[in-house]
Amino acid sequence: MDPATFLAELKRRKVYRVAVAYAIVAWLLIQAASILFPTFEAPLWVMKVFITAVILGFPVALILAWAFEVTPEGIRRAEEAAPPGSKTAKGGMKWTALIVVAAMAATALFAFQLARTRKMTPAEVPKQTVPAASTDKSVAVLPFENLSSDKENAFFAQGIQDEIITTLSRISGLRVISRTSTAHYQSAPENLSEIGRQLRVSNVLEGSVQKAGDRVHINVQLIRADTDAHLWAQSYNRELTDIFGVEAEVAKSIADSLQATLSPQEKARVETKPTTNADAYVVYLRARDYQTRPDNLLQDFKSAAQLYKQSIALDPNFALAHARLSAVMSQIYHWFEPIREVKESARREADESLRLQPDLGEGHLALGLYFYYEEGNYQEALRELNSAAKTLPNDGDVGLYIAAVQRRQGHFTDAIAAYQKAEAIDPRNSITLYDTAQTYFGVRDWPNAVKGMDRVLALAPDSLNVKIQRAYMEFFWKGSTAPIKAVLESFAPNLDPDGIVTFSRWDVALIDRDADAAERALTSAQLENFVAPTGIPLPKSYLAGCVALLRNDAGRAQHEFETARPILEQIVMKSPQDGIRHAQLGFLYALMGFKDAALREGQRGAELTPVSKDIVNGNTVQGFLALIYARNGDADHAIQLIERLLTTPFAVDYADNGITLSDLRKRWEWDPLRGDPRFQKILAEPEPKTLYK
């Protein structure tokens, strides 16, 4: 069929008219549905299904228009219909009339919508449709859907959700679930009642974010979890430079909908804009994405710190960015790099945040972390954390850090109770569950530790650290390395952030006395330094020296250790106040046969980090000291220390300095004691109960 004939046939079969009529009627139906569905409290998915059905119906209508025609005699195939100019062909006038009527109806509905919109505030949709049916003021903010064409903007949607939660956390009349608890849910799930039950909340906030250039479109709606009733909804169309007030508007509207009264101080804090610089805000949201990732990797923390610095460079008065940068620097100091520059940066940024905004809860939280991590001043840490709790009554991190300080002080019963309380408030917070599991790990309660880590994995199934640590717990409990090897085999070959996978492959191979497997792990690794569970970056030469010792190749071992020695000595020189680094260097000296230097560094570590001051890091140092005594041939002191550490909290680790029966039975490092009857007696008996208060 030539084009002219085809176009004439389209006209004869009224395909054009059907297309126009369908488009107008479809638009009418969608507009009507956008009004009626919220009125009757229809879930969001109903509207999505309706629009999809209307769109799919368009080609179907065109096919039917081509194939069939309505005639006075009924519906007939188009080939059998009367030719143009006949009586049946004149029925086209009816189609024209139908199109005109539909167009008039569309115009009327458009005019109604326009008038209705002008009566509301700009960019506002119908508000509260159902009165709050309960006095329960609990709310969970689900992940916001990223509707941007550039999927790289996912961090922006996540950041808006995070900032709304942060703003809500300042309102004492609400109970707000953390983003950590809600992160694994879908943006607009169908089973809200089940989610409400899991999170123990009555209300859920859903939202979507669309960022295109310098414009942002945000939709939010507050829903009763048990009934799907829409309590409140609103849409915001903003320039990026005017985005900062949205979080405050959403928070106040939620408080109004749930009848939560804001004090004047809370109202002022909620309405305070963090910055007026759009570029600084976007960079800040990128930094938050890195800072809140679940694996606590050094590379993520460093990326976050660099981005916070960029944000502050764009707006030096951005108090919240100063506070977040301080917290990140404290985390880097505590876990990875306890050096003077990092410590000074953490204090400087915390002080600057509070100078700019004295009542900033995040600033007090950052200063509390500084006193906790850098100074070990627990009284000052608790004072600042309690100040943060007053202005951030719903911030789960504050309660977690208070519990962590109690744990560090050796108040394990109080700490476990605090973690359990935090879990009751925020039941699917993986950080709370992880810290709780680690507390059980520290007191050698293996069943509860494993159970806790399983719950963490259910919420964060991609976390490498959690998978590895859970497998090690199985080893400590039952003595088998099979779970560790199974987990490591499941990882992609090149997946090795901070070298933690290579370190674990090397470590488990040495536990199994498989020197070849340990060497293969090191040979295939791309990195030259591997972050140990203690947070110390150990050079490949140190790990290779241990493999050589296992092979009884003393010459090769000494060569590798001599290569590693200046690196570890430099690490100690950069962090002279860190007891664990002194103890690790002392153990290297013991492996090299430098007995006096080994004992000196081990004892220096114990002086710097006494158990009486820090029960967690203090007992890590004691584990290294026991290894030093053993390698030095001082069985009396080694066994005496081992007997005490077997009943001491947190004398356990995911490396050779851990003191459990499985470590003592399997690790090559303890071989110098194996002929001693006292050591054999320890190994033959059940693991003693860990003593704690």
Give the model's pLDDT for residue 541: 98
Q: How far is CA 647 from CA 443, 607, 616, 690, 691, in A?
A: 8, 21, 14, 4, 6
Q: Do the domains at 138-271 and 278-393 have one common CATH topology?
A: no
Give the model's pLDDT for residue 156: 84
Hey, what amino acid is at 354?
L
Q: How far is CA 239 from CA 321, 461, 550, 576, in A?
A: 21, 37, 64, 50
Place of tokens 């090397």: 506
Give the model's pLDDT for residue 540: 97
Give the model's pLDDT for residue 310: 98
- What fold does the segment set 278-393 form as a domain? 1.25.40
- CA–CA separation, 79 and 69 (whole Å): 9
Give the model's pLDDT for residue 303: 96
What rounded mean pLDDT belongs to the chain? 85
> Over 80: is that where the pLDDT of 175 sits?
yes
Mean pLDDT of 338-344: 95
The architecture in CATH of the region 575-693 reads Alpha Horseshoe (1.25)
71 φ, ψ (degrees, to nearest 5): -125, 165
Q: Which of 469, 504, 506, 467 is nearest to 487 (CA)?
A: 467
Give the model's pLDDT for residue 273: 85
- What fold does the segment set 138-271 form as a domain? Rossmann fold (3.40.50)
Give the model's pLDDT for residue 682: 97
Give the model's pLDDT for residue 87: 46
Return the H-helix or E-strand segment holding 211: strand 203-212
Give the model's pLDDT for residue 444: 96
Give the model's pLDDT for residue 89: 46
Give the model's pLDDT for residue 287: 94
Please state the three-class secondary structure of 630-690 as a single string: HHHCCHHHHHHHHHHHCCCCCCCCCCCCCCCHHHHHHCHHHHHHCCCHHHHHHHHCCCCCC
Give the model's pLDDT for residue 321: 97
Place of tokens 């085999």: 489
> Over 60: is that where the pLDDT of 114 sits?
no
Place of tokens 């909340």: 201
> Over 70: is that where the pLDDT of 116 sits?
no
- CA–CA separation, 460 and 179 (whole Å): 13
Mean pLDDT of 73-83: 56
> Over 70: is that where the pLDDT of 105 sits?
no
Q: Which of 238, 233, 224 is nearest to 125 (CA)?
A: 233
Please state the three-class secondary structure of 287-338 as a single string: HHHHHCCCCCCHHHHHHHHHHHHHHHHHCCCCHHHHHHHHHHHHHHHHHCCC
Mean pLDDT of 431-449: 93
Q: Which of 410-424, 435-449, 463-477 has the lowest mean pLDDT?
A: 410-424
Mean pLDDT of 370-396: 92
Helices (H) and strands (E) in the chain, counts: 31, 10
Percent of all residues in the chain with a pLDDT value above 70, rounded to a whole number: 84
> Over 80: is that where the pLDDT of 305 sits?
yes
Hey, what amino acid is at 641?
L
Give the model's pLDDT for residue 75: 59
> Over 80: is that where the pLDDT of 126 sits?
no
> Over 60: is that where the pLDDT of 90 sits?
no
Mean pLDDT of 429-440: 89
Mean pLDDT of 600-615: 96
> Over 80: is that where the pLDDT of 328 sits?
yes
Provide the CB-side half-sphere exposure for 75 (13 A, CA).
Answer: 5
Q: How far is CA 153 from CA 162, 285, 581, in A?
A: 14, 10, 41
> Over 80: is that where the pLDDT of 117 sits?
no
Q: Which of 6-10, 164-168, 384-388 has the lowest mean pLDDT?
A: 6-10
Q: Which of 174-178, 291-295, 436-440 has the lowest mean pLDDT?
A: 291-295
Whether 204 and 140 have beta carbons less than 8 Å apart is answered as yes
649: which 2 tokens? 């909290």
Please enumerate in sequence order all residues whose Cβ is within 8 A of that of 430, keeping only pairs 6 or more positions apart, or say none: 180, 181, 183, 294, 456, 459, 460
> Over 50: is that where the pLDDT of 28 sits?
yes
> Over 80: is that where the pLDDT of 32 sits?
no
* Residue-wise pLDDT tens digits, 186-242: 777 878 889 999 988 999 999 999 888 888 888 899 999 988 888 888 888 888 777
Residue spans of the domains in the chain: they are 3-119, 138-271, 278-393, 575-693
- CA–CA separation, 70 and 454 (whole Å): 65
Mean pLDDT of 677-683: 97
80 vs 21, more confident: 21
Give the model's pLDDT for residue 68: 64
Give the model's pLDDT for residue 445: 95
- CA–CA separation, 440 and 668 (whole Å): 26
> Over 60: is that where the pLDDT of 678 sits?
yes
Mean pLDDT of 235-258: 84
> Over 70: is that where the pLDDT of 431 sits?
yes
Question: 229, exposed or middle or buried, with CB in 10 Å at 0-12, 13-18, 19+?
Answer: middle
Q: Which of 295-299, 426-430, 527-531, 663-667 has the lowest mean pLDDT?
A: 426-430
- E-strand ranges in 424-552 read 529-531, 537-539
Place of tokens 């040495």: 510
Give the model's pLDDT for residue 349: 98
Q: Using pLDDT thresholds of 50, 70 and 90, give the confidence band for residue 528.
A: very high
Give the model's pLDDT for residue 125: 38
Question: 53, exposed or middle or buried, with CB in 10 Å at 0-12, 13-18, 19+?
Answer: exposed
* Residue-wise pLDDT tens digits, 561-603: 999 999 999 999 999 999 999 999 999 999 999 999 999 999 9
Give the model's pLDDT for residue 672: 97
684 φ, ψ (degrees, to nearest 5): -80, -20
Q: Which of 52-66, 437-451, 500-514 has the lowest mean pLDDT?
A: 52-66
Q: Using pLDDT thresholds of 50, 70 and 90, give the confidence band for residue 74.
A: low
